[in-house]
């Protein structure tokens, strides 16, 4: 790390001098912005930022980043950047503040390291995102970038988050800078090839073992807490028992209306079809497909015009516009993620294929932007479109004891059963070890503890034990245990397993070298990530991020 930073010593010195010369102006500018945007709600490195700042640089870009899903390298980089900044935040508000403060700190670090992604780098990054590719160009050679798709994103998606193209390019600039800083901070950290070789050998073996199972579910039957015990258990944990977020939504599921002469299925060829009949059928099939595509394009154009009008009127004519188009508007009662109408489980198609529309609906808000309650048109199913408006929102809240009682009871019983199981397993394991050392077989030792023994294997990571749901966990637990020894007990929900390894066999693999290379590369990425995360955590701690009460 130090060697890499030394390469930039001269540049960092110049940047620091410039920063010191401009510090007063930078600080004043930030303070003025905070005052102009409202009272400070958070401080980072002694500078106050308003709620408007947090939305513009934090919550809105965070929502945007989470929506930029894809399998391309740049989409994955956005995901890494986002997850790194958010860290382990569970609450939405905490995630927004961590993303906001982490972003500011990384921007400052970019200045210190002299990392300044160019406009060309930013444009190239955007052009490679799968979200902006022509659907027909995916998987094909050449530039599949769709300017039309990107323009729609700039004109529709960004304004719905109260962002513009410059905000998006700033986000991409930060992602590129993050990647370069991560390489600098973690540079020189290689993956241990010796460790990789050991991992490859361990994962290539086949294991034979005996195990005995303790039924944890039976232990639960005897746990019957009183109301006072439940309330005492609930009291320090009550904040963790929350109601589900509930929403009321009005939506339209829009499908193309094909005329009768454009059926869904093609005409099948007759067994005795002549060449002339085949040509006629193929001509008719081309006409059918072209006709259906024309109907679908007409609908897509209508949906596009509809959403344009919704944006133009800031949503005021949503219901009237749906009726004017001859579409059906449906409204839900209160729903949660567990009580979704069937329409909300429809898979999307296109760049976000196989996602359901539910996450998009639950991401909608009621303001302050008048367009915040409205979804973008979502391509769903085979040829349908989905548009929605959030009508009401009930945020999660802490449950009363009466509301949470069943969850509290289950949690109490699970916890007490786990404690009892661990104590019981320790006792039985000690007794079984003593019996085996005294000359008894595993079977005899298990039966002496009223446990039913079972032999399994040989099995491996790629060839699990048939019918055993815990096969992979068993492999991981036994992979480094000497034959004849007991592994650490394995707890799998309603079972606790006592395992003794009888044989480990290394399987020859001609691709071992490739596997070792892959493990070495993954270890290097892991080491770099850990180093960067530690560096970032230290910077955040030094910045003394705090909310203003």
CA separation, residue 235 to residues 21, 223, 238 (Å): 54, 19, 5
Of the chain, the end-to-end C-alpha distance in Å amounts to 39
Task: Provide the CB-side half-sphere exposure for 166 (13 A, CA).
Answer: 1
Does 294 fall in a domain? yes
Q: Which structure tokens are listed for 145?
A: 């970038």
Question: Do 261 and 238 share a domain, yes or no?
Answer: no
Does 415 fall in a domain? yes
| 81-82-84-85 Cα dihedral, nearest 10 degrees | 110
Question: Do 32 and 90 share a domain, yes or no?
Answer: yes
- Are 248 and 362 spatial neighbours (Cβ–Cβ below 8 Å)? no
Among 394, 418, 438, identify where a domain stops.
394
Distance CA 436, CA 423 (A): 20
Q: Which structure tokens are listed for 499?
A: 């395992």
Encode 456-481 in three state secondary structure.
Answer: EEEECCCCCCCCCCCHHHHHHHHCCC
Helix (H) or strand (E) holding 453: strand 452-459
Question: Do 408 and 383 share a domain, yes or no?
Answer: no
Among 394, 423, 454, identify where a domain stops.
394
Among 351, 376, 394, identify where a domain stops.
394
- Are 142 and 132 spatial neighbours (Cβ–Cβ below 8 Å)? no
Question: Do 235 and 250 share a domain, yes or no?
Answer: no
Q: Map tokens 């799968």 to a residue.
A: 130
- For the chain, what is the radius of gyration of the CA atoms? 30
Question: Do 467 and 531 share a domain, yes or no?
Answer: no
Does 288 fall in a domain? yes
Question: Do 412 and 501 share a domain, yes or no?
Answer: yes
Question: Do 159 and 132 share a domain, yes or no?
Answer: yes
> How much is the pLDDT for 143?
56
Question: Do 253 and 353 share a domain, yes or no?
Answer: yes
Task: Provide the CB-side half-sphere exposure for 501 (13 A, CA).
Answer: 22
| Angle subtended by helix axes 73-86 and 92-113, to nearest 10 | 110
- Within 10 angstroms of residue 153's Cβ, the number of other Cβ atoms is 20
Does 517 fall in a domain? no
- Are 288 and 263 spatial neighbours (Cβ–Cβ below 8 Å)? yes
- Are 54 and 42 spatial neighbours (Cβ–Cβ below 8 Å)? yes
Task: Provide the CB-side half-sphere exposure for 173 (13 A, CA).
Answer: 17
Distance CA 11, CA 364 (A): 44
Helix (H) or strand (E) holding 448: helix 442-448
Smallest CA-to-CA distance from 544 within 44, 41, 27, 106 is with: 44
Q: Is the peptide bond before 458 cis (omega within 30 degrees of 0)?
A: yes
Does 518 fall in a domain? no
Q: Map tokens 């022509």 to a residue.
A: 134
Question: Do 272 and 360 share a domain, yes or no?
Answer: yes
Does 488 fall in a domain? yes
Range of the domain at 489: 205-242+404-506
Q: Map tokens 């081309």 to a residue.
A: 286
Number of structural domains the chain divides into: 3
Residue 388, helix vs strand vs coil:
strand
Smallest CA-to-CA distance from 517 within 260, 261, 197 is with: 197
Question: Do 8 and 80 share a domain, yes or no?
Answer: yes
Does 514 fall in a domain? no
Question: Do 329 and 444 share a domain, yes or no?
Answer: no
Smallest CA-to-CA distance from 361 within 336, 381, 382, 324 is with: 336
Quote the DSSP letter at residue 329. P
Question: Do 358 and 378 share a domain, yes or no?
Answer: yes
What CATH code is carried by the domain that includes residue 142? 1.10.4030
The string of pLDDT tens digits covering residues 103-147 is 998 998 889 889 999 999 999 999 999 888 876 443 444 457 888
Task: Provide the CB-side half-sphere exposure for 269 (13 A, CA).
Answer: 13
Does 352 fall in a domain? yes
pLDDT by position in tens, the chain (length 549): 333 333 333 333 333 333 333 332 333 223 223 333 456 778 888 888 877 788 888 888 888 888 776 667 888 889 888 888 887 666 666 788 888 988 998 998 889 889 999 999 999 999 999 888 876 443 444 457 888 888 888 887 888 777 889 999 999 999 999 988 887 876 655 556 666 666 666 677 889 999 999 998 889 999 999 999 999 999 999 988 889 899 999 999 999 999 988 888 888 888 888 888 889 888 988 898 889 889 989 998 899 899 889 988 989 999 999 999 999 999 999 999 889 999 998 888 754 445 678 888 888 888 788 888 998 888 888 889 999 999 999 988 899 999 999 999 999 999 999 999 999 999 999 999 999 999 999 999 999 999 999 999 899 888 899 988 888 899 888 888 999 999 999 998 788 999 999 998 877 766 666 767 776 776 777 777 777 778 888 888 887 887 765
Contacts of residue 505, defined as CB under 8 A and 6 or more positions apart, other chains included, come to: 205, 206, 207, 208, 458
């Amino acid at each position: 790390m130090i060697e890499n930073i030394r390469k930039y010593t001269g540049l960092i010195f110049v940047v620091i001098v410039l920063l010191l010369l401009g510090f007063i102006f930078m600080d004043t500018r930030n303070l003025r912005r905070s005052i102009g945007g409202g009272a400070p709600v958070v401080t980072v490195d002694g500078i106050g930022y308003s709620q408007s700042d947090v939305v513009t640089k934090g919550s809105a870009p965070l929502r945007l980043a989470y929506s930029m899903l894809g399998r391309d390298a740049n989409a994955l980089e956005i995901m890494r950047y986002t997850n790194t900044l958010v860290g382990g935040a569970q609450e939405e508000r905490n995630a927004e503040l961590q993303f906001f403060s982490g972003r500011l700190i990384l921007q400052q670090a970019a200045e210190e390291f002299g990392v300044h992604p160019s406009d060309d780098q930013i444009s190239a990054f955007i052009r490679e995102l799968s979200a902006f590719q022509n659907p027909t160009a995916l998987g094909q050679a050449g530039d599949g970038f769709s300017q039309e798709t990107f323009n729609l994103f700039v004109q529709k998606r960004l304004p719905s988050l109260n962002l513009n193209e410059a905000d998006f390019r700033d986000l991409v600039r930060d992602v590129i800078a993050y990647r370069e800083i991560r390489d600098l901070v973690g540079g020189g950290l290689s993956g241990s090839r010796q460790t990789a070789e050991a991992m490859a050998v361990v994962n290539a073996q086949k294991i034979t073992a005996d195990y005995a199972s303790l039924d944890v579910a039976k232990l639960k039957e005897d746990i019957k807490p009183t109301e006072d015990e439940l309330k005492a258990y609930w009291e320090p944990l009550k904040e963790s028992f929350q109601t589900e977020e509930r929403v009321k939504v009005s939506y339209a599921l829009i499908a193309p209306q094909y005329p009768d002469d454009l059926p869904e299925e093609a005409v099948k060829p007759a067994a005795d079809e002549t060449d002339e009949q085949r040509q006629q059928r193929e001509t008719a099939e081309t006409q059918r497909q072209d006709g259906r595509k024309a109907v679908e394009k007409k609908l897509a154009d209508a949906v596009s015009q509809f959403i344009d009008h919704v944006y133009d009127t800031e949503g005021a004519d949503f219901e009237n516009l749906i009726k004017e188009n001859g579409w059906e508007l449906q409204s839900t009662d209160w729903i949660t993620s567990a009580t979704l109408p069937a329409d909300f489980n429809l898979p999307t198609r296109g760049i976000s294929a196989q996602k359901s529309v539910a996450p998009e609906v639950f991401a909608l808000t009621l303001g302050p932007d008048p367009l915040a309650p409205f979804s973008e048109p979502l391509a769903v199913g085979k040829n349908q479109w989905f548009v929605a408006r959030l009508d009401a929102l009930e945020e999660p809240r802490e449950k009363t004891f009466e509301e949470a009682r069943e969850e509290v009871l289950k949690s109490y019983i699970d916890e007490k059963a786990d404690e009892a199981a661990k104590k019981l397993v320790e006792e039985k394991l000690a007794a079984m070890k003593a019996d085996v050392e005294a000359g008894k077989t595993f079977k005899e030792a298990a039966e002496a503890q009223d446990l039913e023994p079972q032999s399994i294997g040989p099995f491996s990571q790629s060839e699990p034990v048939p019918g055993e749901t815990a096969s992979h966990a068993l492999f991981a637990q036994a992979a480094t245990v000497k034959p004849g020894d007991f592994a650490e007990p394995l707890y799998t929900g309603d079972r606790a397993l006592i395992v003794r390894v009888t044989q480990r066999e290394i399987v020859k693999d001609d691709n071992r070298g490739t596997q070792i290379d892959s493990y070495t590369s993954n270890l290097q990425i892991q080491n770099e990530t850990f180093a960067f995360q530690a560096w970032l955590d230290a910077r955040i701690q030094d910045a003394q991020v705090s909310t203003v009460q």
